[in-house]
Amino acid sequence: MTKGRFGIHGGQYVPETLMHALEELEAAYTHYKEDPAFQEELTTLLKEYANRPSPLYFAKRMSEDLKGAKIYLKREDLNHTGAHKINNVLGQALLAKKMGKKRLIAETGAGQHGVATATAAALFGMECVIYMGQEDIVRQALNVYKMKLLGAEVVSVTSGTATLKDAVNEAMREWTRRIEDTHYCLGSVMGPHPFPSMVRDFQAIISKESKEQILEKEARMPDAIIACVGGGSNAIGSFYHYIDEKEVELIGAEAAGRGIDINETAATMAVGKLGIFHGMKSYFCQDEKGQIAPVYSISAGLDYPGIGPEHAHLADQGRAKYVPIKDDEALEAFQYVSKIEGIIPAIESAHALAYVKKLAPTLGKDKVLVVTVSGRGDKDCAALARYQGEEIYE
């Protein structure tokens, strides 16, 4: 088997022009991963700049209200820039800097990864260009403003469906044009090797912390970990240190959009099949001829037709399970958690919370769930208000 495989998934399906850059990246990452000075620098940044460790918060009112399992929230929403994305971006930007790159490019869907990348570029004094689908630019105007404020150029992508997958296409095209001084800061556990492993390593801090935190609070392993899945970076980060703890159930909540039985969905595990796209073999939403399907979700961050190769492998093995959550269920959870806990979650994270809302009441009070609140919902308020027919000015 070729490099970077998770079972049959993964690999490096990219144009020859990019192979040298991937080899260079892999060599640098392999070196710095074991370099104590690099790790120390990253740890300090995560602590002092990004506000880690993120708290593991016992959601007392939610647990009481749902009359079942104890629910803990892993508060990635409290990170600097408001989501888990910063964990990966600080790692990659620091690595790019060590490699002598002067420029960061990235794709973004909801804008969270774009904001995080623009932030890291500002921090390290690097140039930054963010590729964002035209559709998403409209849905996420506040994040577009933030990226510009941070000094990044935001390129509107109009090709294809003008959403996240097209932003990835355009960022990859730009990378092939300019690989010498540019690092492509991919935002999820997807794409060609070494990205799925490298991004997972940077996000694994979520489960490294949560494991210590839950042991301290409950003196035992949780019964299940729940996280939302688009490409799957916060989910793999939330799962990683529990993969070998076989008694811990791993559950990814996918965006079902308007439903998996109609063609307006982004739930790859529910409707996708094996294919090759964006540099990797994995499951993708596609038609019978291999054309990548337009996907839909209320959440711009989960609106992606594929899933990271490690998730595909965890699913094949039956180690993790993936459940589809509809727009309306996510929206309801978004409002519910806001009211009952005083925490406004990102609409992406609300997919995971929606599943917890269904799961917790079916479990006994002795059960413990850890759900990752991958980001905060400020960015979603205007769009969700519009969705419900209320016009507000940002």
Partner 1 sequence: MSKAFIPYIMCGDPDLETSEKLIASLVEAGADAIELGIPFSDPVAEGPVIQAASSRALQQNVDANALFSLVEKVRKTYTIPLYVMTYSNVVFAYGIEKFVQRMQEVGLQGLILPDVPYEEKEEFDAICRKYQIDLISLITLTSSSRLEKIAKKARGFLYCVSSLGITGTRASLHEEIFDVIEQARDYTPIPCLIGFGISNAQQARQMARKSDGIIIGSAIVQLCEKYGREAPEPVHLFAKSIKEALTM
Using CB under 8 A as the binding rule, whether residue 204 contacts partner 1 is answered as no
Burial zone of 103 (CB within 10 Å; 0-12 exposed, 13-18 middle, 19+ buried): middle
Using CB under 8 A as the binding rule, whether residue 172 contacts partner 1 is answered as yes
Interface pick for partner 1 out of 177, 389, 390, 393 (rule CB under 8 A):
177
Question: DSSP per residue over 99-142, as a string?
Answer: TT--EEEEEESSSHHHHHHHHHHHHHT-EEEEEEEHHHHHHTHH
Cα dist. 174→21, 165, 350 in Å? 13, 14, 33
Using CB under 8 A as the binding rule, whether residue 103 contacts partner 1 is answered as no
Interface pick for partner 1 out of 34, 288, 390, 391 (rule CB under 8 A):
288
Q: CB of residue 304 vs partner 1: minimum separation in angstroms?
A: 12
Cβ distance to partner 1 smaller for residue 283 or 336: 283
Distance CA 188, CA 234 (A): 8
Interface pick for partner 1 out of 101, 165, 241, 376 (rule CB under 8 A):
165
Cβ distance to partner 1 smaller for residue 38 or 277: 277
Burial zone of 284 (CB within 10 Å; 0-12 exposed, 13-18 middle, 19+ buried): buried
Count of residues interacting with partner 1 (CB under 8 A): 38
In whole angstroms, how large is the CA radius of gyration of the chain?
Answer: 19
| Residue span binding partner 1 (CB under 8 A) among the ranges 13-21, 63-71, 200-208, 238-246 | 13-21
Using CB under 8 A as the binding rule, whether residue 155 contacts partner 1 is answered as no
Q: Which residues contact 254 (CB under 8 A, 6 or more apart)?
A: 228, 229, 266, 267, 268, 269, 270, 302, 307, 322, 323, 324, 325, 351
Report the amino acid identity of residue 68. G
Using CB under 8 A as the binding rule, whether residue 55 contacts partner 1 is answered as no
Cα dist. 270→260, 303, 354 in Å? 7, 14, 17
Q: DSSP class of residue 362?
A: G
Catalytic residue among 26, 76, 107, 348: 107
Interface pick for partner 1 out of 31, 178, 220, 339 (rule CB under 8 A):
178
Catalytic residue among 85, 97, 146, 357: 85
Using CB under 8 A as the binding rule, whether residue 262 contacts partner 1 is answered as no
Q: CB of residue 2 vs partner 1: minimum separation in angstroms?
A: 5
Using CB under 8 A as the binding rule, whether residue 182 contacts partner 1 is answered as no
How many residues does the structure list for the chain? 394
Using CB under 8 A as the binding rule, whether residue 184 contacts partner 1 is answered as no
Q: CB of residue 120 vs partner 1: minimum separation in angstroms?
A: 25
Cα dist. 352→235, 237, 328, 358, 378 in Å? 10, 14, 13, 10, 17
Is residue 107 among the annotated active site residues?
yes
Catalytic residue among 197, 233, 374, 379: 374
Interface pick for partner 1 out of 181, 290, 321, 385 (rule CB under 8 A):
290
Q: CB of residue 388 vs partner 1: minimum separation in angstroms?
A: 32
Distance CA 268, CA 282 (A): 10
* Binding residues among 15-34 for partner 1 as defined by CB under 8 A: 15-21, 23
Distance CA 267, CA 254 (A): 5
Tell me which H or E stretch contains 213.
helix 205-218
Is residue 197 among the annotated active site residues?
no
Is residue 85 among the annotated active site residues?
yes
Question: Catalytic residue positions?
Answer: 85, 107, 374
Binding residues for partner 1, rule: CB under 8 A, are 2-3, 11-21, 23, 159-160, 165-166, 169, 172-173, 176-179, 274-279, 284, 286, 288-292
